[in-house]
Structure 1
């Protein structure tokens, strides 16, 4: 019996592979536990169509991430913050604050978890932060911290 593996099966193969197995093992274990499907022509064509659609979707997401990276790389964000008597910021600029400023000034939505600060920003000036955009695409955002 030929089966199409839906999930990785230890000792048999990885998801997406077509394997020849004994009838009892295929029907009772693999298909019964939802690890595989009976490899008919219809099932194989459906699986290939799903794979093609997933690859197209991933390519589209990568293209969107690269476009967003170009936009972020050419953007200079200005954040106003209170400054104490010693010339340092009162508190520090957080990735949440950067995310909110990006949304309000440039209408770019970027989750605060995707903004990486090497060290805390506690002084006014120009800083660069790394932004992870998914699919191994990164951007560098320039931030200008000024006195409120």
Structure 2
């Protein structure tokens, strides 16, 4: 199945890329979640606008990405949330929650779609999240989840 990516998908490609994936993966995962659109000649004309929007909000150079990574690693991010007994959270911490906490801690404004959480954060304590700043630069954020 031939698709045009609208968002970055790890291991597949960047927004605006035309990729060939298995039919089930494209039909059941990428298209319903809005990560891709079906390739047609008309949709191919949209590729340029997707790439322009991507370049406007993307960190352009590796040096700038490394600078932002340094800021993120030096940042103390604390996230206050409601908890139940035994330090368990009501729900889980999302990438959007982490992006807001980084901004509140005085860090750079991050796109929530670039934040990857390895295991779901469902307990109080210290956790790690990864941020894809540039194809060559990843940063890790230490998130301290505390009871509100």
Q: What is the TM-score of this pair, normalised by structure 2?
A: 0.57
Asked whether 1:93 is paired with 2:80, we answer no
Which residue is equivalent to 1:104?
Answer: 104
Asked whether 1:61 is paired with 2:61, we answer yes
Which residue is equivalent to 2:47?
Answer: none
User: CA separation in 2, counterparts of 1:72 and 1:107?
Assistant: 7
User: CA separation in 2, counterparts of 1:135 and 1:91?
Assistant: 31
> Comparing both structures, which one devotes a greater share of its residues to strand?
2
Per-residue CA shift, 1:73-126, capped at 9, x if unaligned?
121200000001242001110000000111122141110111100011000000
Q: Show structure 1 runs of 4+ deviating over 4 A.
A: none
Alignment root-mean-square deviation, CA: 1.9
User: CA separation in 1, counterparts of 2:67 and 2:107?
Assistant: 14
Which residue is equivalent to 2:126?
Answer: 126
Matched pairs, number? 91
| Bigger CA radius of gyration | 1
Alignment gaps of 5+ in structure 1: 1-59
Which residue is equivalent to 1:137?
Answer: 137
User: CA separation in 2, counterparts of 1:86 and 1:107?
Assistant: 31
User: CA separation in 2, counterparts of 1:67 and 1:138?
Assistant: 11
SS in 1 for 2:143: strand
User: CA separation in 1, counterparts of 2:117 and 2:92?
Assistant: 11
Q: What is the TM-score of this pair, normalised by structure 1?
A: 0.57
User: CA separation in 1, counterparts of 2:80 and 2:146?
Assistant: 5
User: CA separation in 1, counterparts of 2:96 and 2:87?
Assistant: 23
User: CA separation in 2, counterparts of 1:140 and 1:107?
Assistant: 13
Match runs of 1:17-56 below 5 Å:
none
User: CA separation in 2, counterparts of 1:109 and 1:83?
Assistant: 27
